[in-house]
């Protein structure tokens, strides 16, 4: 038989997109709010796009059936967030409702702070993702059996001082010694009751509902404030506004604001009728700031009282030795262990690398500096010089010969110009005639 899940009783609203920062903020606020808010048993069935749910999972290995068939397995990733926390995101794509959707385009993302938060609180967001055709083998395969059975189990606290305590409507509390049929315990997973469940919360005289109970036990609705526990209000100003910085946390132990629900703790000032959404958010933010301020003052007073008691009990004892500030401890509180280890490793590696670079390699005595002329070959240079000198002597001889020829030519030209006939050797002329 299909087991229901524990859901936060308020409607968290519709969100087209869900960022990592929004998911972390809502999960951190959920840890505080869930201390005084009982979770209701219910089923998740065909949630619309944009729906946000907060559930408590005793068994993290199995997610409740939500009436949607997904054609691919889930993808799991871990994202580091500020404060040394890690957010686990599990994404399932290509989902469809058998017999209701024409394409598989639904997407589900689950957010869980498995480091730095409560690992059993899961924030679920449904949205529209990439679409693909529906596979024939999945088209007519049902996800669950219908109709869903009616649940009559009372809400139960999942954490805090009231963990395991059930909130019964008036007149329905079990008799002493009886063993009512109950769902598995929120933490052990076995069907038994917490010891605190033997003392159910009873209603006040003259009222139709106990503090925080009334109306229909809806699966997660926040309308009207009928099903809210002490300090809870309905009407859109509850968990949705409180966890997103938009209000909802009243000065009482639970959640204030809204209208219609009975508050077991002191109620905050009600917003004026006809106030716009922005003014409503500002009003709820002011209530939240006042609550947090009073909580800080109470913590400071308690801390001062403990210090006074400690100082009175330790009168006459020597003061403890002053310990120097541990910078590494402060550093480890701000960043994760992995990031701190990697930072220290790189720092030490760089320091030791500079040491070993000078001391562990090579000769300790530096070699003599090399002559700047060692790269030149003296013999080759001398041969080139001798060759150049021979070529220069040849060029000089050619230049001298050309100069002599030019001088002789110039002299002969000058004699012809002045009418000087060159003399002919008589002996040579007579010899030529005889021959």
The whole-number pLDDT of residue 363 equals 62
Instruction: Provide block-wise average pLDDT over 10 residues at a time, the chain (435 residues).
Output: 89 91 94 93 94 92 91 93 93 92 94 92 95 89 89 92 87 60 51 40 37 37 38 42 44 38 40 52 67 82 84 62 55 71 86 75 70 84 94 95 93 80 53 54
The whole-number pLDDT of residue 325 equals 56
The whole-number pLDDT of residue 213 equals 38
The whole-number pLDDT of residue 225 equals 37
CA 90 to chain centre: 14
Asked whether residue 106 is domain-assigned, the answer is: yes
DSSP label at 167?
A: -
Asked whether residue 226 is domain-assigned, the answer is: no
Up-side HSE of residue 403: CA atoms within 13 Å toward CB? 6
Of the candidates 203, 151, 196, the one whose C-alpha atom is nearest the C-alpha of residue 45 is 151
Of the candidates 115, 118, 226, 213, the one whose C-alpha atom is nearest the C-alpha of residue 163 is 118
Asked whether residue 196 is domain-assigned, the answer is: no
The whole-number pLDDT of residue 111 equals 96
Residues of the domain holding 22? 5-166
The whole-number pLDDT of residue 3 equals 85
The Cα–Cα gap between 203 and 213 comes to 9
Asked whether residue 9 is domain-assigned, the answer is: yes
DSSP label at 33?
A: H
Asked whether residue 51 is domain-assigned, the answer is: yes
The whole-number pLDDT of residue 293 equals 81
Q: Both tokens of residue 24? A: 């972390």
The whole-number pLDDT of residue 353 equals 81
pTM exceeds 0.85 for this model: no
Asked whether residue 122 is domain-assigned, the answer is: yes
Q: What share of the chain is helix, strand, coil (3-state, %, to 5)?
A: 35, 15, 50
The whole-number pLDDT of residue 170 equals 75
The Cα–Cα gap between 224 and 246 comes to 18
- Report yes or no: 46 and 118 within 8 Å, Cβ to Cβ: no
Q: Both tokens of residue 412? A: 């002969």
Asked whether residue 157 is domain-assigned, the answer is: yes
Provide the 3-class DSSP secondary structure of residue 313: helix
- Supply the mean pLDDT for the chain: 74
Say what angle helices 337-359 and 327-334 make with each other, to 10 degrees. Answer: 130
CB under 8 Å to 191, separation ≥6 — which residues?
Answer: 181, 182, 183, 184, 185
The whole-number pLDDT of residue 141 equals 84
Number of independent structural domains in the chain: 1
Query: Residue-wise over 114-127: b if at least 16 C-beta within 10 A, else e?
Result: ebbbbebbbbbbbb
Q: Is the peptide bond before 74 cis (omega within 30 degrees of 0)?
A: no
Asked whether residue 193 is domain-assigned, the answer is: no
Q: Find residue 55's DSSP bridge partners.
A: 7, 122
The Cα–Cα gap between 71 and 92 comes to 9
DSSP label at 203?
A: P
Give CA separation, 385 vs 379, 381, 382, 396, in Å.
10, 6, 5, 16
SS (H, E, C) 314-355: CCCCCCCCCCCCCHHHHHHHHCCHHHHHHHHHHHHHHHHHHH
């Amino acid at each position: 038989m299909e087991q229901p899940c524990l859901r936060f009783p308020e409607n968290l609203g519709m969100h087209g997109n869900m960022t990592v920062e929004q998911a972390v903020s809502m999960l951190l606020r959920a840890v505080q709010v869930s201390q005084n808010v009982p979770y209701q048993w219910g089923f998740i069935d065909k949630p619309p796009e944009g729906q946000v749910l907060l559930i408590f999972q005793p068994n993290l290995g199995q997610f409740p059936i939500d009436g949607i068939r997904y054609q691919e397995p889930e993808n799991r990733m871990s994202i580091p967030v500020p404060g040394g926390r890690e957010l686990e995101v599990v994404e399932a794509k290509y989902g469809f409702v058998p017999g209701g959707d024409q394409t598989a385009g639904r997407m589900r993302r689950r957010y869980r702070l498995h480091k730095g938060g409560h690992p059993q609180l899961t924030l679920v967001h449904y949205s529209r993702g990439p679409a693909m055709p529906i596979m024939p083998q999945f088209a007519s395969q049902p996800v669950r059996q219908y109709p869903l059975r009616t649940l009559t189990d009372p809400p139960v606290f999942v954490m805090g001082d009231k963990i395991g305590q059930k909130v019964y409507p008036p007149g329905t509390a079990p008799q002493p010694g009886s063993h009512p049929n109950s769902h598995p315990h929120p933490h052990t997973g076995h069907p038994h009751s917490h010891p605190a469940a033997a003392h159910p919360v009873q209603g006040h005289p003259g009222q139709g509902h106990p503090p925080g109970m009334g109306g229909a036990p809806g699966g997660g609705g926040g309308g009207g404030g009928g099903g809210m526990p002490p300090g809870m209000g309905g009407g859109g100003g509850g968990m949705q506004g409180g966890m997103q910085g938009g209000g909802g946390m009243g000065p009482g132990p639970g959640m204030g604001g809204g209208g219609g629900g009975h508050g077991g703790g002191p109620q905050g000032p009600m917003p004026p009728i006809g106030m716009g959404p922005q003014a409503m958010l500002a009003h709820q933010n002011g209530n939240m700031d006042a609550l947090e301020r009073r909580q800080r003052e109470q913590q400071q007073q308690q801390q001062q009282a403990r210090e006074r008691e400690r100082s009175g009990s330790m009168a006459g004892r020597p003061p403890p030795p002053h310990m120097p500030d541990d910078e590494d401890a402060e550093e480890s509180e701000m960043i994760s262990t992995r990031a701190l280890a990697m930072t220290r490793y790189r720092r030490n590696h760089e320091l030791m690398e500079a040491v070993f670079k000078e001391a562990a390699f090579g000769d300790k005595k530096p070699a003599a500096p090399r002559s700047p002329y060692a790269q030149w070959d003296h013999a080759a240079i001398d041969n080139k010089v001798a060759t150049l000198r021979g070529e220069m002597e040849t060029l000089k001889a050619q230049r001298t010969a050309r100069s002599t020829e030019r001088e002789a030519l110039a002299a002969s030209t000058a004699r012809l110009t002045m009418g000087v006939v060159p003399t002919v050797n008589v002996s040579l002329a007579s010899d030529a005639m005889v021959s």
